[in-house]
């Protein structure tokens, strides 16, 4: 199938007949036709909604168009699509059984592996989605401290439950009553929010770096991270690292290990099982009793195949030097993109770690230029995103990278054209 699909040449862009038909059928039976981050809202109309297949760093839409994948399913795919060792481990487990009356031995093996891999972790619990994990962290922090108030950074994403969803439809004031807000990398704002919480401070949730959708990314100031750690230790509040998006992409351990700051609790999902459904909460020993005291479960939370996939994923990340590979490909992509933009005199911001970059255009508040860029890139076979950070997988080859850079060069040409068109009316008295 791969060879057959690989013949699709994006210059002969296949019309999106199958995609259009599925969208039409979806609108009749799925509210809004699609929901959440998969809804078409933030994406230009050139993007397909429905996907057919993926191998390594390439994906194919339902009409057979091929793309180099720079979104990695919004984070879960880290080793590339259909990684052979991960798929073999999941299939071998599924052949025995997946969803049973009790978990398989892989649950204990995976917990041991995580405790041995992530420095702050003395124990692990498992769930399905990142939202499960962040919500459990908050519940465990409250159970441990007997306090209510949780601090989060303004604009940060921690999931789609009423306590944290970015959309307020259906959310009550009571759902948010025990939250306080701070500004990422601004320790004074944390100190003020902690003071407002007083004796009621249960925990502080923080992302490894600032990766709010649609904004330039900001790496963490190590002094900020150390300040959070100190404040939590002093007040007895839980430091909760939301490693759902970054975990196992930047470091083979929690994402703040390289700066020497260890959280009490951390939330994981996305890359942990290379696309298989799994989330984890990891914690230090002090929080084990509180973690055992909460009622946390789900019908599918003990399924064994995803746990087998996670064991194989973590093994392959290590064996293949995947973290270094993503950093290398990401650095080459960054160098190429910066050079292309400079050559055309286009002012951009290219922010975040090399393996999780994000591109914005100077002054492009409404994301119009980002939309033009993304629409041209997808037509030339690079699947990236105009309003969300991108993800580089370890499967990216030199050929994939060359194809991406050819696509981004065309995309910058499209942006340049649009900028000229935009300026023309001023220069020529509005006649164009």
Ligand X SMILES: *Cc1c(COP(=O)(O)O)cnc(C)c1O
Interface with ligand X by CB under 6 A: which residues? 129-131, 134, 157-160, 207, 242, 244-245, 269
- Between the alpha carbon of residue 70 and those of residues 14, 56, 152, 253, 385, the distances in Å are 20, 11, 28, 23, 8
Minimal distance, residue 158 CB to ligand X, in Å: 5
| Closest CB to ligand X among residues 361, 391 | 391
**How far apart, in whole angstroms, are the C-alpha atoms of residue 47 and residue 39?**
11
Instruction: Identify which of 361, 363, 365 has the alpha carbon closest to the alpha carbon of residue 373.
Output: 361
H/E run at residue 421: helix 398-427
| Closest CB to ligand X among residues 56, 275 | 275
Minimal distance, residue 179 CB to ligand X, in Å: 15
Minimal distance, residue 415 CB to ligand X, in Å: 27
Minimal distance, residue 15 CB to ligand X, in Å: 32
One DSSP character per residue, 303-357 reads: -HHHHHHHHHHHHHHHHTTHHHHHHHHHHHHHHHHHHHHHHTT--EEEES-TTS-
* Other CB atoms within 10 A of residue 222 CB: 13
Minimal distance, residue 219 CB to ligand X, in Å: 15
| Closest CB to ligand X among residues 160, 179 | 160
Decide: 394 and 325 in contact? Cβ < 8 Å: yes
| Closest CB to ligand X among residues 16, 210 | 210
- 51 forms beta bridges with 61
Q: Cα 57 from chain centroid?
A: 16
Minimal distance, residue 143 CB to ligand X, in Å: 20
| Closest CB to ligand X among residues 157, 248 | 157
| Closest CB to ligand X among residues 194, 241 | 241
| Closest CB to ligand X among residues 279, 374 | 279
Minimal distance, residue 331 CB to ligand X, in Å: 22
**How far apart, in whole angstroms, are the C-alpha atoms of residue 158 and residue 177?**
16
81 burial type by CB count under 10 A (0-12 exposed, 13-18 middle, 19+ buried): buried
- 242 forms beta bridges with 267
Minimal distance, residue 279 CB to ligand X, in Å: 6
Minimal distance, residue 273 CB to ligand X, in Å: 12
**How far apart, in whole angstroms, are the C-alpha atoms of residue 140 and residue 78?**
29
**How far apart, in whole angstroms, are the C-alpha atoms of residue 303 and residue 324?**
31
| Closest CB to ligand X among residues 62, 265 | 265
**How far apart, in whole angstroms, are the C-alpha atoms of residue 248 and residue 394?**
11
* Residue of this chain nearest to ligand X (CB atom): 130
**How far apart, in whole angstroms, are the C-alpha atoms of residue 303 and residue 126?**
10
| Closest CB to ligand X among residues 129, 217 | 129
> Helices marked H in 118-249 — which ranges?
130-145, 173-176, 187-197, 222-235
């Amino acid at each position: 199938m791969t060879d057959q699909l690989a013949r699709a040449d994006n210059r002969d862009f296949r019309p999106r007949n199958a995609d259009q038909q599925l969208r039409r059928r979806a609108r009749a039976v799925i509210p809004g036709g699609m929901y959440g981050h998969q809804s078409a809202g933030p994406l230009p109309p050139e993007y397909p909604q429905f996907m057919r297949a993926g191998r390594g760093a390439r994906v194919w839409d339902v009409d057979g168009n091929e793309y180099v994948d720079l979104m990695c399913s919004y984070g879960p795919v880290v080793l590339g699509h259909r990684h052979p060792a991960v798929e073999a481990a999941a299939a071998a487990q599924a052949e025995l059984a997946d969803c049973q009356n009790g978990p398989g031995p892989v649950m204990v093996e995976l917990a041991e592996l995580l405790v041995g891999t992530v420095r702050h972790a003395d124990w692990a619990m498992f769930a399905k989605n990142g939202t499960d994990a962040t919500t459990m962290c908050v519940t465990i922090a409250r159970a441990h401290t007997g306090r209510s108030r949780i601090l989060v950074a303004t604009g940060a994403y921690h999931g789609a439950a009423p306590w944290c969803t970015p959309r307020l439809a259906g959310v009550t004031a009571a759902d948010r009553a025990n939250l306080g807000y701070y500004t990422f990398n601004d320790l004074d704002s944390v100190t003020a929010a902690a003071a407002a919480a007083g004796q009621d401070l249960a925990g502080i949730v923080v992302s490894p770096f600032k990766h709010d959708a649609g904004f330039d990314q900001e790496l963490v100031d190590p002094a900020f991270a150390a300040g959070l750690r100190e404040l939590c230790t002093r007040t007895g509040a839980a430091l909760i690292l939301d490693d759902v998006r970054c975990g196992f992409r930047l470091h083979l351990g929690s994402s703040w290990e390289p700066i020497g700051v260890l959280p009490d609790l951390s939330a994981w999902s996305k890359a942990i099982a290379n696309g298989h459904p799994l989330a984890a909460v990891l914690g230090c020993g002090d929080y084990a009793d509180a973690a055992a005291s909460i009622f946390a479960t789900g019908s599918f939370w003990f399924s064994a195949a995803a746990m087998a996939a996670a064991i194989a994923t973590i093994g392959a990340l290590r064996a293949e030097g995947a973290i270094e590979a993503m950093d290398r490909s990401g650095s080459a992509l960054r160098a190429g993109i910066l050079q292309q933009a400079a050559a055309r005199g286009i002012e951009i911001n290219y922010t975040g770690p090399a393996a999780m970059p994000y591109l914005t255009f100077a002054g492009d508040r409404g994301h119009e230029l980002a939309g033009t860029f993304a629409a041209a890139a997808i037509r030339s076979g690079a699947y990236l995103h105009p309003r969300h950070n991108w993800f580089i997988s370890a499967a990216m080859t030199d050929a994939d990278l060359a194809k991406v850079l050819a696509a981004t060069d065309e995309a910058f040409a499209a942006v340049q054209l649009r900028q000229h068109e935009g300026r023309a009316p001023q220069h020529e008295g509005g006649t164009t």
